[in-house]
Each structure stands twice: as structure tokens, then as C-alpha cells.
Amino acid sequence: MSEDNLRRFLSLPYAMIGSDSSARSMSGIPYDGKPHPRGFGSFPRFLGKYVRDERLMSMSEAIYKITMLPAKIFGIQKRGIIKKGAFADIVVFDPARIIDRATFDKPFLKSEGIHYVVINGTPVVWKGKFTGAAGGKILRSQGYY
């Protein structure tokens, strides 16, 4: 897809942001090979390049496109919003510094500007460092059986 078409797509009010990259470990067997850099940089690239630098939309609209909108569309309850009774999934980042660094040659480079990541109330990144905790789980829509 050309950059111009990508910009047009990202700007559509109903466009959700996601990635089809597989989960990868920073060490061990899943670390082998060279995955696509989007596995470590899709969201920071969107927020840093297209939202902050190119101003395709406001930061709040961008956050909506990667949180609440996908949760609503896919019927994933108690996700995509910060409120009492919802799961505590929170990323604290510096809007002035967030950017992807992964390349095809070095696909495992961590993005910059991400300070804290909490998944289901479990801190998995604290002060920019992985904690070793795994707070995630498989998400299914309400209609899945």
C-alpha cells in the first residue's frame, strides 16, 4: 500500500489500528529468525509518525482507534476503556517521544517513549523495563462459543 493510501485509510473515522504480527519473545527459540518490524512497532509508529508528526488526527482519536473502537466492533466486553469494573489495561507513554525503532535488519528493537504497561492489572513494563510478568490472556467476543 502506498503511503498516501495508508494516510487516507488511517484518517477514515471507522478505521481501526491493529497488527497481524505473531507474538515474539525477546530471547529463546521464538527469538530466532527475522520477523516483520511491525511486531514491535505498529502502534508506536502510528502514534509517533502519523499522529504526532504528521497530525493526521488528534491523539485522543488515535487512542480511540486502537482501544475502544476495536473493543466495540469485536464485542470484547470491559476492554478499551478505563472505568470501574473494566479490566486494567493501561499503557503510559510520552507523546513527544513515542516512536518505533524496529527495522528489517533489527526487528527486535524496542520502541521509544513507553514507560509503563499494565495488563489485567499486572505491570509488565515498569519504568521502561520488562518485569517478566505475563498478565495477558486470550480475548474472545461475547458471541464466541
Per-residue confidence in pLDDT tens, the chain, 145 aa? 899 999 999 999 999 998 877 766 666 666 667 777 787 789 999 999 999 999 999 999 999 999 999 999 988 889 999 999 999 899 999 999 999 998 989 888 889 999 999 999 999 999 999 898 988 877 777 654 4
Does this model's pTM top 0.75? My answer is: yes
Query: Helix and strand tally (H, E) in the chain?
Result: 4, 4
pLDDT value for 28: 63
Q: Any idea where the domains of the chain sit in the sequence?
A: 3-18+29-130
Give the integer Cα–Cα distance in Å for 82 and 87: 8
CB 21 within 8 A of CB 77: no
pLDDT value for 31: 61
Whole-Å CA distances, 126 to 16, 29, 58, 66, 77: 27, 25, 26, 21, 26
- List phi, psi (to 5°) of 116: -140, 140
- List phi, psi (to 5°) of 106: -130, 75
CB 59 within 8 A of CB 66: no
